[in-house]
Amino acid sequence: MTVERSQELESAPVGRLLWQFSWPAIVGMMCNALYNIVDRAFVGRGVGTLAIAATTVAFPLMIILLALSLLIGVGATALISIRLGEQKKEEAEVVAANATSLLVLLPLCFSIIYLSFPEPILRLFGASSEVLPYARDFMHIIMLGSVFGGLSMGMNNFIRAEGNPVMAMSTQVLGTLINGVLNYTFVFQVGMGIKGSALATVLGQLFSTIWVLSYYLTGRSLIKLKLRNFRPRLPILLSIVSIGFAPFAMELATCLQQVILNKSVLTYGGDLGLSAVGILMSIITLLFMPILGISQGAQPLIGFNYGARRFDRVKATLKKAIFAGSCVSVTGYLVMRIWPVEIAGIFTKGDIALTRMTADAMLVFFCMIFMLGFQIVCSQYFQAVGKAVQAAILSLSRQVLFFIPLLLILPHFWGINGVWRTAPIADGLSVIITAVFILNEMKSLATEAKEASP
């Protein structure tokens, strides 16, 4: 890291730095959210309700691909930020090269597994006989291009870690714009249906990958990808995986949650309920991503200053990130309370039954969503400082400890309403656990600061 950038991270006003790093990350994460939302909106209006249900069935598989990218991308980003804060640029480059190899290998292995057993996997994830052909057509194309998604998303985190958030944002904006234009072209103009939507997604990821690689191969990056650094270093690989395990496990838990959710809704609400769940997942993703963008913007600031033992700036960054994330989640909550029917109608194209079910579910499912900002930012904090165990516990608390058990119990008593009620209960309980963890961490930082002072 340059001396100028190092001094800025260590001494510039925290609020300005957080905004400088966060707004590109927010735009970028919103672009990631729009991938699935654009797919669902176009296939819902251009193909029909069964196509929305198919993207809902496909969603857990796409979550697994995302989880693999986060396992490597987030883990490597935390290590890169800390190494740069410690003025160890060469070690940061070794981390980046080893991580890049994994970003190719892991999605490729998963795609081979899926393509060997597509129909059993899709049925396991909730596809009915009517939905299966649509889901198969969609996921076959997605899996063939899975490496592009892994590289573009994972390596984009490295760019942010070295202090270039605008470049990271431009990568995601490029992919989203291409996905949106090609979705419209392939679905409505060419008439390719759900296959066209999948192809648009893959091509968007391909162009993002080309853009990221051009940044590293044309000498514009601070961190250089050198051939000698691609030799696997087991300690580094283990460090990457251990730190990245928290978001990886969280996404796997989300995948399991989505599978159980799909099956529960299919049992109590049929394919119509499955389509409603798909819309709900698109909406929550749209709210989740800007908060995650704030967290990612805070990550290099927290990681660098933690490595530099500037705990006062670590705490200041965390507080401002919590405030910003909470503003987003409260705003999202109010919008969904005021305009549920209008939001649902974006996806349904005059399907009154689906619109009504989705709007009613939204009012219950998201009634505690105003607390989401606090929970996400605090969970991401522990990743930024390399505390993998705490990060994993907080990341998994909502899905594994609360949501999944409630999802297996409540529908037996309340039917489809029991499905909708699981989310707010799980949200409330996970926030309590997060508050306990973060209060203990602030006490620990205060103690370390006293010990470090002369």
Exposed/middle/buried for 7, CB within 10 Å: 0-12, 13-18, 19+? exposed
Which residue, chain included where needed, has tokens 């999944």? 404
Give me the residue spans of the domains in the chain: 12-232, 292-452
CA-based end-to-end distance of the chain = 27
Quote the strand ranges of 137-192, DSSP E: none
Please answer whether residues 130 and 50 qualify as being in contact, where contact means their C-beta atoms are separated by less than 8 angstroms.
yes
Please answer whether residues 63 and 255 qualify as being in contact, where contact means their C-beta atoms are separated by less than 8 angstroms.
yes
Per-residue model confidence as pLDDT tens for the chain (454 residues): 455 555 666 667 777 788 877 777 777 677 767 777 777 778 877 787 888 888 888 888 988 988 898 888 888 888 887 787 777 778 888 888 898 899 999 999 999 999 999 999 999 888 888 889 999 999 999 999 999 988 888 888 788 777 777 787 788 788 888 988 998 999 888 889 899 999 999 999 999 899 988 888 887 777 778 878 888 888 888 888 888 887 787 778 778 888 888 888 888 888 888 888 888 888 888 888 888 888 878 887 887 778 777 787 888 888 899 999 999 999 999 999 999 888 888 777 777 888 888 899 999 999 999 998 898 888 888 877 877 778 778 877 777 788 889 989 999 888 889 999 998 999 999 999 999 999 988 888 878 777 666 5
193: left (phi over 0), alpha (psi -120 to 50) or beta: left
The Cα 132–Cα 53 span in angstroms is 9
SS3 assignment, position 350: coil
Q: What is the mean pLDDT of the chain?
A: 84
Verdict on whether the full-model pTM lies above 0.75 = no
The Cα 433–Cα 8 span in angstroms is 34
DSSP 227: G
Q: What is the pLDDT of residues 371-390, one digit of tens each?
A: 988 988 888 888 778 777 78
Q: Transcribe 378-407 into DSSP letters.
A: HHHHHHHTT-HHHHHHHHHIIIIIIIHHHH
